[in-house]
Chains A and B, each alone.
Chain A
């Protein structure tokens, strides 16, 4: 790191990420206090993108742990590759030392973040998919910054404390001890001004009329009553990309009743029906 010890590196946004002031403060304070940052928010509001932006802006490598419902904590830490060892013991042509178990330990994502020589950004994506035990045990490890490898009786300590970003879609409520150890932020849905900035970052040379018309339509469609899954930023960007790619598309189509590519915005068939028959 180029900055001195007591003035930690500050995050101020990435090339493809528009950061609001509030979030910037929270990211910086989390890094300063060395606490994991838990992000919640509607799907498609850029929770995952934030970690990418932090990594890019601070020039740190990014390690992503995609949490799955069936995942065990140990998978995220390390793996003892018994199969390769068995194979080596029979054919012995790999150069690995079969009697040394250490050679067959592979680091998982959290393990990689701990043993990395540089400070890294560790993104733990969609933590809510895993069960409560996983979450609590993981926070213990992230708190202590160390874990044991049982097979070789060795403790792995983090060389550098990674910047940890955790995202949740709030499918389940997270446990209190978990929440207690995190810094929390809820990413609200961007308002029009913010959205205009986001669009201009993604489509730098889009003409202003088109942006305005698209946003107008987008916010109107979000208002359609009874929709279960409202379109979010991600859907808007994909939709605009689709509109751009279509050579036949004309601005006036947006003003007519027949809106092109509605399926990009609405992913559920009932929602799509509601939106097109509003």
Chain B
């Protein structure tokens, strides 16, 4: 039983094992699972062995068993949906127009009230709840209006649940924060910090430890064995460059800053600079990018062993990267295109990485991300990505 569900979990990347699946069958056979709710908790505890995968499990579960779900939107959910729709409308009028089936021009003229009215009318026309299309309003569609859609705008409004069925619980996606693939969240701060603690250099093993050498030599009955220790290496200097322009980066700026501030004591020097989208001739020491500009050329004078960490989504219009006049601010005239400055930085600091809060899957849809990933080694701003980045920064080559 539930073989398909088992393979769905496997396909989604949860390391489920046949043994655990057999155990589930045993539990089913013993009559220990009496309802879907039981099935939800028990299967998870048997098959999924880390809270990192709970979120994926929740998603898979709600898809697999959605047929059993209550399909009517309650008032509260409706309010939430409308709220979400309005915010989505502000972010992406084009997509919204398409979803509601009215021309974008017309949509732009509508007031929020009219939009809500139109939406409600649309909802009444629906004779049945619809899940998984891209046009109607329902849940799990690609249309931005609705509950837990996969729309790249990324809105998610979990309706507050009352009588919680297992699917509703799964739909709430309570374990979103623990998911390892998603970008770092505040609750992962501790875990992230542990990974950052490895960001320290290791000297070569070339210091003789006399005590241990004597001890080992005695143990070998006089056969001389020299024991070497690692030489103490100086702590690292870090330059952290954060893209703090635009709402897409807002949630991550503070987390990244807090993260590095906590780890500060383990670095010799930590400097934080800010930029918007990409780097031209200047970066700024103040988050408002106004008071304290620092010319990028000056970086040439700093220690080349400094670790350079850039944080940004690397998504912008191609001309911002390649045109000398690409800077999005009026009056900021540059002699060179941004891409040259990036290459200059990558050449100056041989240890540099770019951390991207956007998931790796979607990097190659954006042209500028591809470009920048060609200049700096790019890692996801997730626990896994951070681990890899730290490993890369400390490796000796």
Contacts and interface: CB of A to CB of B under 8 A. Distances in A.
Contacts of A26: 41-42, 45
A25 B33 CA distance: 9
A29 B27 contact: yes
A29 B32 contact: yes
Nearest to A20: B41
Interface in B312-336: none
A6 B37 CA distance: 22
A180 B27 contact: no
B258 A179 contact: no
**Chain B interface SS verdict (over half):** helix
Interface in A137-155: none
Interface in A172-215: 176, 179-180, 182-186, 188
Interface in A258-272: 270
A68 to B, nearest CB: 20
Contacts of B38: 25
B104 interface: no
Contacts of B50: 40, 179, 184, 186
A37 B46 CA distance: 10
B269 interface: no
A270 B37 CA distance: 42
A208 B171 CA distance: 32
A186 B26 CA distance: 22
A22 to B, nearest CB: 5
A133 interface: no
Nearest to A173: B50
B3 interface: no
The range of chain A's interface size is: 20 to 34
Contact of B27 (A33, A182, A185, A229): A33
A228 B262 contact: yes
B205 to A, nearest CB: 23
B54 to A, nearest CB: 7
Contacts of A6: 30
Given A182-B49, A186-B51, A22 B175 contact: no
B45 A30 contact: yes
B254 A226 contact: yes
A186 B32 contact: no
Contacts, number: 68
A112 interface: no
Contacts of B48: 184
Looking at A38, A176, A184, A225, the one whose CB has the most chain B CB atoms below 10 A away is A184
A32 interface: yes
Nearest to A29: B42
Interface string B1-43: 0000000000000010101100100110010110001100110
A35 B189 CA distance: 32
B190 interface: yes
Given A183-B46, A186-B51, A22 B258 contact: no
A32 B258 contact: no
B186 interface: yes
A235 B90 CA distance: 42
Q: Which interface residue of A25, A26, A28, A229 has the most chain B CB atoms within 10 A?
A: A25
B174 interface: yes
Given A33-B26, A182-B49, A228-B262, A25 B41 contact: yes
B178 interface: yes
A28 B32 CA distance: 9
B193 interface: yes
A35 B27 CA distance: 12
Contacts of B54: 186
B165 to A, nearest CB: 12
Given A26-B41, A225-B258, A188 B49 contact: no
Contacts of A176: 15
Nearest to B33: A29
Interface in A11-28: 21-22, 25-26, 28
Given A176-B15, A183-B46, A228-B189, A40 B51 contact: yes
Contacts of B175: 186, 188
B28 to A, nearest CB: 11
Contacts of A35: 23
A22 B262 CA distance: 36
Interface in B66-104: none
15 contacts: A26-B41, A28-B32, A29-B27, A33-B32, A170-B191, A180-B17, A180-B19, A180-B49, A182-B49, A183-B46, A186-B51, A188-B175, A225-B186, A225-B254, A270-B262
Identify the 8 closest CB pairs spanning chains A and B, nearest first. A186-B51, A179-B49, A226-B258, A26-B45, A22-B41, A184-B49, A25-B41, A183-B45
Interface of A: 6, 21-22, 25-26, 28-30, 32-33, 35, 37-38, 40, 170-171, 176, 179-180, 182-186, 188, 225-226, 228-229, 270
